[in-house]
Amino acid sequence: MLGSTNILAYAAIAATTLSTVCDAHFFISSPTPIQGSAPKDPLEASGSNFPCHGVALPSSGGEKMAAGSSQNLKFELNGGLNTAVHGGGSCQLSLLYDISKAKDPSAWHVIYSIEGGCPANIKGNFPEGGAVACTSEDEGDCVHSFDYTIPQGVKSGNAILSWTWFNTIGNREIYQNCAAVEITDGTGSEMSSLPAMFVANVASVNDCHTAEQEAVGFPEPGKYVIQQTATNGFSYPVSTLACGGGAAAPSSYVGASSTAAAPTSSAYAAPSSSAYAAPSSAPAVPTSAPAVTNPVSSAPPAYQTGGAVTETTYATTFATVTAGSPGPSASSPAEAAPSALASSPGPAAKSGDGSVPCSNDGGVVCIDATHFGICNFGSAVPMPLAAGTTCANGVVSRKKRSARHMERHRRGVGHVHEAKL
């Protein structure tokens, strides 16, 4: 099994030179995270530092937030250097009131779900120094912030507010930052209806895994959802998973010391369309997980590319919606099967998914003149080489280039950063 650290390291090499891989990652700046809970790293795949990177969670103090008040989720851009948005993805905000149950996902109550476009709508990552904050919702090539309201029906008291993020491109990971808050003026009337926090890619919790090149559609997003609703602009398809969380608290969960059996499948249901259709009215939030039609082995899959992806003039908007209204109808265009990459010295592509077979787990695979991959579980997903780089004999190297400032461009998969020559 290939560790996330190795994949990140190889991606950094393939993309040119990067002084520190973790310098590219994102973390929240608002609300203020608990010290130590917001390193620029995903959680460990084993779950050893779930939740909140294993820091001691305070039982008092924190930022005061009144129920019904408007808040803002904002990301630390570090002067434009935090560029690794990994194609965006999906996020959730959840509240924990009992820190003794922190390892139990059902103890975390989801107050907001963001499906797609979190924190950005982009193919891969931003160029070095190119991460800038959006100034409007329909602006592209920038990092979004999100306004949300603390539901009136949460209960008052000290709590931990969690931000979780499932990236679209790169390793199958979960990122989490945590903030101490004090909720005031809450009625508590909605607590029983708030779903459990969605968790995937954490072995100590479950064997649910997200798929690459698909934004997560949460099986139970809750009443308060921000959805990507425009059909224009670049976006990855949103696929609703049939694992990882739900509205009802489970009778047990697979914790570090639990003897409960792990789920036997990490299957997810494929979306009926490769992208959301723009509805004439507010879209409905899914109220139940779709039926699983193609269960897969509980072993971590060799991640494949998702549905068809389109790119036109950017015009993505976000809308906050509540559950209960009829959902928008969506057309179901046939997904184009990825074709084999242009022939050149390298392994032959598997039919139908674009990945290529390999045997050097953790090693670089040169696929063709413009693509490379990282061997993971016997296959490598094609990723575009950074401008000015070549791949030969399992080594990605950089062509000689001018030291002048390079034109800003979109990056492919991995931590892509231009070196200062």
Partnered with residue 95 across adjacent β-strands are: 109, 161
- Which stretch of DSSP H or E encloses residue 355? none
**How distant is the alpha carbon of residue 316 from its chain centre?**
18
More confident: 278 or 143: 143
Q: Is the pLDDT of residue 248 over 70?
A: no
Contact 42, 4 (CB under 8 A): yes
First to last CA, the chain: 36
Give the fold, CATH level 3, of 20-333.
Answer: Coagulation Factor XIII; Chain A, domain 1 (2.70.50)
Percent of the chain topping pLDDT 90: 34
Measure the CA–CA gap between 267 and 294, rounded to whole angstroms: 7
- The answer on pLDDT for 342 being more than 80 is no
What average pLDDT is seen over the chain? 69
Residue reference for tokens 């009337």: 189
What mean pLDDT do residues 364-387 have?
A: 80
pLDDT (mean) for 258-280: 33
pLDDT number for residue 138 = 67
pLDDT (tens digit per residue) in 11-21: 443 443 333 33
Report the distance separating Cα 369 and Cα 259, nearest Å: 49
- The per-residue pLDDT for 113 is 97
> At 398, is the pLDDT very low, low, confident or very high (cuts 50, 70, 90)?
low
Non-local CB neighbours of 275 within 8 Å, separated by 6+ positions: 231, 235, 237, 238, 307, 310
Contact of 229 with 317, CB cutoff 8 Å: yes
Look at strands 28-30 and 70-75 and give their pairing: antiparallel
**What type of residue sits at position 364?**
V
Percentage of the residues of the chain whose pLDDT score is greater than 70: 58
**Which residues, at least 6 apart from 401, have a Cβ–Cβ distance to it below 8 Å?**
388, 421
Helix, strand, or coil (residue 240)? strand
Q: How big is the CA angle at 163 (ends 310 and 66), to the nearest 5 degrees? A: 120
- The answer to whether the bond into 51 is cis (omega within 30° of 0) is yes
Choose among 140, 132, 166, 139: nearest CA to 43: 166
Nearest by Cα to 273 from 241, 237, 305, 309: 237
Other Cβ atoms closer than 10 A to 351? 10
Q: What is the spatial distance between Cα 239 and Cα 307, in angstroms, rounded to a whole number?
A: 9
What's the pLDDT score for residue 58? Answer: 95
CA distance 53 to 385: 32
pLDDT at residue number 411: 37
Tokens (6 digits) for 31: 């609300």
User: Starting from the edge strand earliest in sequence, which strands make up the sheet with 70-75, in order?
Assistant: 28-30, 70-75, 146-149
User: Mean per-residue pLDDT for 202-221?
Assistant: 94
What is the tens place of the pLDDT at every residue in 108-140? 999 999 999 898 888 878 777 777 888 777 666
CA–CA dist 267, 290 (Å, integer)? 11
CA dihedral 191, 193, 198, 199 (to 10 degrees): 60
pTM for this one? 0.57
Bridge partner residues of 162 (DSSP): 94, 178
Give the model's pLDDT for residue 381.
Answer: 82
The string of pLDDT tens digits covering residues 164-210 is: 999 998 899 999 999 999 999 999 999 999 999 999 999 999 999 99
Q: Nearest-CA neighbor of 309 among 84, 53, 52, 122?
A: 122
Domain boundaries, the chain: 20-333
Residue found by looking up tokens 């982009």 in the block: 122
- Rg of the chain on CA atoms, in Å: 21
